């Protein structure tokens, strides 16, 4: 029998004992647990039975009200010590690589300061005791309505976000008190990308950093991909992104750290999607805008008999949550005005897929307009939709017009996707589970000037000549030796599995050769386009909502997706990984470099 050849089993040389010891322990434990099974069966569903955990205790629904509007975090006037191009290790910063394009974006950037912190008073449900949660919050005026703060950012306004690690370094239980914060899927230098090996704390650092740190500065240029070739800092509006989110990406511990709450929204605006529904600019889309622009983050969670958050970070099957938290609350109520809203739906996992529908109390599906997928506005809105599916890390922006309802109307957002294991969803079945109650309880104080125009954002051009000349890489995602592998290898953050020239373009074929798992694959850095979808080798139509730009590609059993990708403007190390956080933590990840 072959031994696992991953770095975790063989050990890394340069890392500190504690964190690395835990990482090695986890991987060896997982490999040992799976080893006897390997002698008889090698693949897929027959290999192991997923673990069965007791159900979470019952909750009383609709006992918690979400705020009627979210409060984005604001900039600070200064940072001390001031941010600089090269890591200020003497001043407490982790040993990152120098900021790329500092001269263009650093001086004059807006300054933000947040900290990863622990609090002990979070109430998932009034049926459960207040308990520990982790989140990213501003140092002053933290937003206690969400586990992590929300950013509203604008193209053309670069920002520097200083992220302190104030997690308790004597932490016990699941999760690890190091962080590496990834802003999914911002176009930025790899030193600001939150690479999984770039985790840091005051006492530890990952193998791809050079020093521990109390904080790390992230330069978010808020510039559209391809700006270098255009020689401007405005970029092509077709490349703009919208609904992004940031989260911890620490190697081997992303699932438990997100499970504890380390994920928040980062919404981007530009001259089209300007965030102002009264915008006089004729090119502005005037979509429903703040405070009627509302992010909703969904996660699956499981609780023990005492109502405390439960997780098993050793088992490579993870834990499937049987409660759905919405912005950190189970079965909350959102009161809305009788007008149009933009909801930004986000699935932060760890493993559950959702199919959301908005229904009446008698389970009649209501119509909405689907305008964006993975933070990318469609060329044209998809009208009269009744449901939307989200794999982990996928997003959907929808517009719901509540002016159609009388005051007092109650509606429910339901999850129709049934899932009984972390491996993949089972099927869609009505009427679904009610996860959010929406009450139309008032008229808006002012006229609703928002609209959903017939055209939204054009797609960037890909020429046939580019498709014909693109180098092709093939990546196979499969179960291997009790863990998850890409082309038979487990993650090694020190080794680049692909080296791609800056400015290049390629076609990546993502293949799932098993029948037991669905893999929502995330490729950092630039949005891609699905050119072709094959099931058992036969080309099938690409769903309309997946024909635009994407950054998460759900690769279902026996499926191959052919993706067109560009690699522009920056150099450095970036990962591709399964965004089922359990697969990600159990090695389904690789590093690729732009050189």
Read off the tokens for 433: 């589970």
Cβ of residue 517: shortest distance to Cu ion, in angstroms?
6
CB of 77 to Cu ion, least distance (A): 43
357-386: contacts with Cu ion (CB under 5 A): none
Using the minimum distance from each CB to Cu ion, give the nearer residue, 339 or 583: 583
Q: Which residue's CB is nearer to Cu ion, number 188 or number 393?
A: 393
The tokens of 460 are what?
Answer: 């960037």
Minimum separation from the CB atom of position 528 to Cu ion (A): 17
Among 435, 483, 578, 589, binds Cu ion (CB under 5 A): 578
Q: How far is the CB of 391 from Cu ion (least distance, A)?
A: 9
* Residue closest to 578 by CA, chosen among 311, 451, 381, 394: 394
Nearest one of 59, 56, 58, 3 to 31, comparing CA atoms: 3
Minimum CB distance to Cu ion, residue 519 (Å)? 3
Site string for Cu ion, 264-283 (x = CB under 5 A): --------------------
Structural tokens at position 535: 């099931």
Query: Which residue, 96 or 583, has its beta carbon nearer to Cu ion?
Result: 583
Return the structure tokens found at 561.
């997706």
Number of residues that bind Cu ion (CB under 5 A): 4
Please compute, for residue 399, the number of CA atoms within 13 A of its CA located in the half-sphere on the CB side.
Answer: 23
d(CA 556, CA 535): 9
Give the torsion through C-alpha atoms of 283, 286, 287, 291, to 10 deg. 140
Min dist. Cβ of residue 350 to Cu ion (A): 11
Cα(91)–Cα(19) distance, rounded to whole angstroms? 23
Task: Work out how close the CB of 424 gets to Cu ion at its nearest, in angstroms, rounded to a whole number.
Answer: 9
Q: Which of 216, 583, 586, 591 binds Cu ion (CB under 5 A)?
A: 583
Q: Which stretch binds Cu ion (CB under 5 A): 58-66, 334-342, 352-360, 571-579?
A: 571-579
Q: Report which secondary-structure segment, H or E, holds 401.
A: strand 395-401
Q: Examine residue 216 and tell whether it contacts Cu ion (CB under 5 A).
A: no
Residues in the chain: 595
**Which part of the chain contacts Cu ion (CB under 5 A), choosing from 172-180, 454-462, 466-474, 578-586?**
578-586
**Could you tell me the smallest distance in angstroms from the CB atom of residue 566 to Cu ion?**
24
Least spacing, CB of residue 582 vs Cu ion, in Å: 8
Binding mask 511-530 for Cu ion (x = CB under 5 A): --------x-----------
The residue (of 100 and 315) whose beta carbon lies closer to Cu ion is 315
CA-to-CA distance for 303 and 316, rounded, in angstroms? 19
Q: How far is the CB of 251 from Cu ion (least distance, A)?
A: 16
Q: Pick the piece of the chain touching Cu ion (CB under 5 A) from 25-33, 75-83, 266-274, 575-583.
A: 575-583
Cβ proximity to Cu ion: between 205 and 519 the closer is 519
Which of residues 193 and 514 has its CB atom nearest to Cu ion in the complex? 514
* Number of other residues whose CB lies within 10 A of the CB of residue 394: 25
Helix (H) or strand (E) holding 164: strand 159-165
Residues whose CB falls within 8 Å of the CB of residue 382, separated by 6 or more in sequence, listed in order: 369, 370, 371, 544, 545
**Among residues 185 and 580, whose Cβ is nearest to Cu ion?**
580
Q: How far is the CB of 46 from Cu ion (least distance, A)?
A: 18
**Cα-flanking dihedrals φ and ψ of residue 544, to 5°?**
-55, -45
Give the nearer residue to Cu ion in terms of CB position, either 115 or 580: 580
Q: Is 32 helix (H, G, I), strand (E, B) or coil?
A: helix
Nearer of residues 201 and 580 to Cu ion, judged by Cβ: 580
Q: 335 exposed, middle or buried (CB, 10 Å; 0-12, 13-18, 19+)?
A: middle
- 326: Cβ contacts below 8 Å, ≥ 6 apart: 66, 296, 297, 298, 332, 413, 435, 436
Instruction: For the beta carbon of residue 276, count every other beta carbon within 10 angstroms.
Output: 17
d(CA 273, CA 296): 19
Span of 236-244, 329-337, 348-356, 570-578 interacting with Cu ion by CB under 5 A: 570-578
Which of 192, 201, 450, 580 touches Cu ion by CB under 5 A? 580
Q: How far apart are CA 76 and CA 547, in angstroms?
A: 39
Choice between 196 and 264, CB closer to Cu ion: 196
- Give whichever of 423 and 562 is closer to Cu ion, judged by the CB atom: 423
Minimum CB–partner distance for residue 162 and Cu ion (Å): 33
Is the Cα torsion angle 60, 391, 287, 291 positive or negative in sign? positive
Residue 417 pairs in a beta bridge with 428
**Nearer to Cu ion (CB atom), residue 134 or residue 477:** 477
- Compute the distance between CA of residue 295 and CA of residue 259 in angstroms, rounded to an integer: 18
- Under the rule (CB under 5 A), what is the footprint of Cu ion? 519, 578, 580, 583
């Amino acid at each position: 029998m072959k031994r696992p050849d991953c770095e975790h089993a063989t050990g890394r040389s340069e890392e500190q004992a504690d964190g690395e010891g835990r990482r090695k322990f986890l991987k060896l434990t997982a490999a040992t647990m799976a080893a006897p099974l390997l002698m008889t069966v090698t693949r897929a569903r027959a290999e192991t039975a997923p673990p069965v955990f007791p159900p979470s205790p019952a909750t009383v629904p609709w006992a918690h009200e979400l705020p009627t509007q979210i409060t984005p975090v604001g900039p600070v006037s200064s940072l001390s010590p001031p941010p600089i191009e090269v890591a200020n290790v003497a001043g407490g910063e982790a040993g990152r690589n120098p900021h790329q394009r500092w001269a263009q974006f650093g001086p004059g950037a807006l300054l933000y300061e947040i900290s990863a912190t622990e609090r002990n008073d979070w109430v998932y449900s009034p049926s459960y005791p207040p308990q520990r949660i982790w989140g990213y919050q501003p140092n002053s005026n933290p937003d206690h309505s969400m586990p992590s703060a929300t950013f509203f950012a604008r193209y053309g306004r670069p920002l520097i976000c200083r992220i302190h690690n104030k997690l308790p370094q004597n932490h016990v239980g699941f999760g690890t008190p190091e962080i590496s914060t990834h802003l999914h899927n911002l176009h930025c230098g790899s030193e600001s990308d939150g690479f999984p090996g770039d985790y840091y704390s005051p006492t530890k650092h990952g193998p791809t950093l050079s020093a521990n740190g109390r904080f790390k500065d992230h330069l978010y240029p808020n510039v559209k991909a391809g700006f270098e070739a255009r020689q401007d800092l405005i970029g092509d509006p077709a490349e703009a992104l919208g609904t992004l989110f940031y989260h911890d990406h620490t190697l081997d511990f992303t699932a438990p750290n997100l499970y504890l709450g380390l994920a928040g929204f980062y919404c981007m605006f530009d001259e089209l999607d300007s965030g102002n529904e009264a915008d006089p600019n004729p090119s502005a889309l005037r979509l429903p805008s703040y405070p009627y622009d509302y992010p909703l983050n969904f996660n699956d969670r499981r609780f023990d008999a005492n109502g405390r958050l439960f997780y098993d970070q050793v088992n490579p099957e993870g834990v499937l949550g049987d409660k759905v938290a919405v912005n950190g609350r189970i079965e909350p109520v959102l009161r809305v005005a009788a007008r149009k809203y933009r909801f930004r739906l986000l699935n932060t996992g760890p493993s559950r897929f959702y199919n959301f529908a908005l229904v009446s109390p008698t389970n009649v599906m209501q119509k909405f307009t689907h305008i964006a997928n993975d933070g990318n506005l469609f060329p044209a809105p998809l009208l009269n939709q009744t449901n939307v599916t989200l794999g982990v890390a996928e997003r959907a922006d929808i517009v719901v017009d509540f002016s159609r309802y009388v005051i007092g109307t109650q509606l429910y957002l339901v999850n129709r996707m049934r899932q009984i294991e972390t491996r993949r969803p089972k099927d869609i079945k009505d009427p679904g589970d009610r996860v959010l109650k929406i009450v139309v309880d008032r008229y808006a104080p002012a006229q609703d000037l928002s609209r959903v125009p017939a055209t939204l954002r054009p797609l960037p051009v890909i020429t046939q000549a580019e498709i014909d000349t693109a180098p092709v890489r093939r990546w196979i995602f499969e179960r291997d030796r009790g863990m998850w592998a890409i082309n038979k290898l487990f993650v090694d953050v020190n080794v680049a599995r692909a080296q791609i020239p800056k400015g290049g373009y390629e076609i990546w074929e993502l293949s799932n050769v098993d029948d037991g798992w669905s893999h929502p694959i995330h490729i950092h850095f630039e949005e891609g386009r699905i050119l072709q979808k094959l099931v058992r080798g036969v080309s099938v139509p690409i769903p309309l909502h997946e024909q635009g730009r994407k950054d998460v590609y759900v690769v279902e059993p026996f499926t191959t997706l052919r993706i067109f990708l560009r690699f522009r403007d920056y150099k450095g190390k970036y990962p591709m990984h399964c965004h089922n956080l359990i697969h990600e933590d159990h090695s389904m990840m690789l590093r690729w470099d732009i050189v």
